Structure 1
Amino acid sequence: MTQRSARAAVFSAGSWGTAVAKIMADAGGDVVVHARRSEIADAINTRHRNPGYFPDIELPASLTATTDPAAALDGADYLVLSIPAQSLRTSLAAWAPHIGPDTVIVSLMKGIELGSGKRASEVITEVTGVHRDRVAVLSGPNLAREIMAGQPAAATIACPDENAARRVQQACHTLYFRPYTSTDVTGCELGGAVKNVIALAVGIASGMGMGDNASAMLITRGLAETTRLAMAMGAHPATLSGLAGLGDLVATCSSPLSRNRTFGTHLGSGMSVEQATAATRQTTEGVKSAEAILAMAYEHDVEMPITTVISALLHDKITLDEAAAALMQRPPKPER
């Protein structure tokens, strides 16, 4: 008997959702993308293109699209969520009745919910009622444009249930995409969320004309404060030195393809938050999550100077020059 291909429902048709949908289709899966706009779904089905993000790249024939969430989730082995963290709760509440009893939910989101301070996996279990062993997180140095072009990349897939993590790993493993497994969901999610704030800082420094030394300083000290928070919340320090920590941090802080770094560069060049938002045109999770991450740091009594300065800058509490001075004029101390 021929084994049935794994079926994945990917919500939504943004850049990263489309990239993971392509990965899973290339890995042999039957993939349905849920698109909010009918013209995007029609283009994927008829022209095998996503004109909103990758009009120049052909999608696999096994990748289709629909605007109907129930149709997308019908028989799905995996529900892959790639939507803004701040809209997750409301959107997922509408989709939850269509999720199958054995469907594994895979979060691609790298943000913290404002107000509650919850990570995406926590929001998912709270809204859907599924056991945490059915919720996985995929995180790593994954720039969507490079992956769509078939360039090599790797990621960490974290789930409390190692067997579930291995199933997702198999569903995502291609010649160009190498997934590793982990059980440290907290570390993976915090690494993915905080690195966006650090990338804002690196972009700001670049926009202000600072050099590679400043970028390296921010990346290194950003990793230090990310690790402090993650360990205070029960994560394993090795996770933060792996793909979901250091790997994701370096890619997001270094690449012009990174929307968070790009947003920061706009700020550093003198744009307001509103102007930078308009110029970036995509969801920039670091802008939304900085305040929530800082609240987590206060709750766990963790010092996060870069996050503190970026949050203050985003809320017009300090100027660019004051932000730079606040970081450089901190009292000297041992590195460890």
Structure 2
Amino acid sequence: MSDKVTVLVAGSWGTALASVLAANHSEVYLWTRNSDQAAEINGSHINNKYLPGISLPANIIATTDMETAVSGSKAVVIVAPSSGMRQVARSLKPFWKDEMLCVHATKGFETESKKRMSIVIAEELGCDEGQIVVLSGPSHAEEVVRLCPTTVVVASPDDKRTAEAQELFINNDFRVYTNRDQVGVELAGALKNIIALGAGLSDGLGFGDNAKAALLTRGLAEISRVGVELGANPLTFAGLAGIGDLVVTATSQHSRNWRAGFMLGQGKPLDEVLESMGMVVEGIRTTEAAYAISIKLGVQMPITDQIYHVLFKGRSPRSAVEALMGRDRKPELEAISQETWEQWHS
């Protein structure tokens, strides 16, 4: 069998995962639309825009041709921004074969449809959603390429495919666990970006560690609440894709979502924040999608609600915090059904 693996596309996370795969496999093709970027990766073994100062393995081959990138690969790893996922999957379709393993590592929703990325990919490839494996967990690209110890999870209801994905990525620097809860892992990875925005807002306002700890804790509660409503296992949110990814994204200056929130908390307008970032901030699109989902499901997501109004309705960050602190008195632990209780203890 071929030892070729393909990664689509060459942003910071896609390039970092290509670097992990290059330690395990003889050929790693990295697809990009940008011919100058491909030339830089092939000629100098760097991706200066997204991972400045990092030397990439020589067996990463960049190309702008999808057929060249995919043909003969045993696995395709899709790391496109959520806004471009459908188009990338559509471009992959003519060269896709059912025997290929498909993994995606994008944390977000399709803005228009509010669909998870595995659903979008499955629709475009014409396969079952369970054939798509989700990779998620606490994993800054900047640390992964420097071989800092990193642990993630791969999820699919198909045990064979998750085992294949685990084998594809795992090495001494990049540990991989498996999980059958594709829905929970995918939702946790997307929704934690909203709370990371909120953590940045809190830090930008100078509110300190007490506020941020409360924000993360209550943020995890509302992520879990909507996740369970959509069929996820509540225990997933206590794992790598849940609390693990939430902590790393909401407390580190590597995090684009935290940095965007921090600038908003300092009073900078959203347009200026996005322009200065130069890269996609998934939490902004995810906030819009999650706000709509919470209304549709009738599930309370108070932090998401306030961040939505800061981003899209002109509410000041300070007013949003005041609204959260002034909510009605509630018990910390909410009543759960017998079915949920049994699921927690199964």
With over 3 angstroms needed to count, the CA separation of the structure-2 counterparts of 1:10 and 1:270, relative to structure 1, is same
Name whichever of 135-144 and 285-294 sits farther off. 285-294
The AA in structure 1 aligned to 2:80 is I
> When the two structures are superposed, what TM-score results if normalisation uses the length of structure 1?
0.96
Structure 2 counterpart of 1:262, from 256, 259, 263? 259
What's the CA shift string for 1:19-78, capped at 9, x where partnerless? 001111112352100011112111221222112222422212221110101110101121
Are 2:284 and 1:278 equivalent residues in the alignment? no
Q: Aligned to 2:103, what secondary structure does the other structure show?
A: strand
Question: In structure 2, what is the Cα distance between the partners aligned to 1:257 and 1:119?
Answer: 25
Contact 1:121–1:135 (8 Å) recurs in 2:
yes
Q: Aligned to 1:157, what secondary structure does the other structure show?
A: strand
Q: Aligned to 2:172, what secondary structure does the other structure show?
A: coil
1:132 is displaced (CA, Å) by 2.4
Structure 2 counterpart of 1:189, from 163, 176, 186? 186
Question: In structure 2, what is the Cα distance between the partners aligned to 1:218 and 1:104?
Answer: 37
The AA in structure 2 aligned to 1:21 is A
Are 2:123 and 1:87 equivalent residues in the alignment? no
Structure 2 counterpart of 1:118, from 115, 140, 148? 115
Structure 1 counterpart of 2:312, from 288, 305, 315? 315
Question: In structure 2, what is the Cα distance between the partners aligned to 1:179 and 1:205?
Answer: 32
1:169 is displaced (CA, Å) by 0.6
1:157-172 alignment to 2 at 5 Å?
157-172=154-169
1:188 is displaced (CA, Å) by 0.6
Question: In structure 2, what is the Cα distance between the partners aligned to 1:108 and 1:29?
Answer: 21
Question: In structure 2, what is the Cα distance between the partners aligned to 1:234 and 1:296?
Answer: 14
Contact 2:2–2:74 (8 Å) recurs in 1:
no
Are 2:21 and 1:24 equivalent residues in the alignment? yes
Give the total of aligned pairs.
333
Fraction of identical pairs, as percent:
39
- 1:230 aligned partner: 227
Are 2:91 and 1:108 equivalent residues in the alignment? no
Question: In structure 2, what is the Cα distance between the partners aligned to 1:128 and 1:164?
Answer: 16
Unaligned runs of 5+ in 2: 334-346
Are 2:137 and 1:137 equivalent residues in the alignment? no
Contact 2:5–2:25 (8 Å) recurs in 1:
no
Question: In structure 2, what is the Cα distance between the partners aligned to 1:7 and 1:68?
Answer: 16
Q: Aligned to 1:83, what secondary structure does the other structure show?
A: coil
1:281-296 alignment to 2 at 5 Å?
281-296=278-293
- 1:198 aligned partner: 195
Q: Aligned to 1:179, what secondary structure does the other structure show?
A: strand
What's the CA shift string for 1:109-147, capped at 9, x where partnerless? 111111211000011111111222320000000000011
Q: Aligned to 1:112, what secondary structure does the other structure show?
A: coil
1:5 is displaced (CA, Å) by 5.3
The AA in structure 1 aligned to 2:218 is R
Structure 2 counterpart of 1:252, from 249, 252, 257? 249
Question: In structure 1, what is the Cα distance between the partners aligned to 2:317 and 2:158?
Answer: 45
Contact 1:75–1:100 (8 Å) recurs in 2:
no
Q: Aligned to 1:65, what secondary structure does the other structure show?
A: strand
Are 2:5 and 1:40 equivalent residues in the alignment? no
1:316 is displaced (CA, Å) by 2.6
> When the two structures are superposed, what TM-score results if normalisation uses the length of structure 2?
0.94
Contact 2:77–2:103 (8 Å) recurs in 1:
yes
Question: In structure 2, what is the Cα distance between the partners aligned to 1:196 and 1:81?
Answer: 19
- 1:207 aligned partner: 204
Question: In structure 2, what is the Cα distance between the partners aligned to 1:322 and 1:48?
Answer: 47
Name whichever of 207-216 and 59-68 sits farther off. 59-68
RMSD: 1.2
Contact 2:138–2:248 (8 Å) recurs in 1:
yes
With over 3 angstroms needed to count, the CA separation of the structure-2 counterparts of 1:246 and 1:92, relative to structure 1, is same
Contact 1:6–1:171 (8 Å) recurs in 2:
no
- 1:330 aligned partner: 327
Question: In structure 2, what is the Cα distance between the partners aligned to 1:235 and 1:129?
Answer: 24
With over 3 angstroms needed to count, the CA separation of the structure-2 counterparts of 1:5 and 1:176, relative to structure 1, is farther
Question: In structure 1, what is the Cα distance between the partners aligned to 2:193 and 2:3?
Answer: 32
Structure 2 counterpart of 1:219, from 207, 216, 219? 216
Unaligned runs of 5+ in 1: none
Q: Aligned to 1:283, what secondary structure does the other structure show?
A: coil
Q: Aligned to 2:30, what secondary structure does the other structure show?
A: strand
Contact 2:188–2:223 (8 Å) recurs in 1:
yes
- 2:8 aligned partner: 11
Contact 2:138–2:244 (8 Å) recurs in 1:
yes
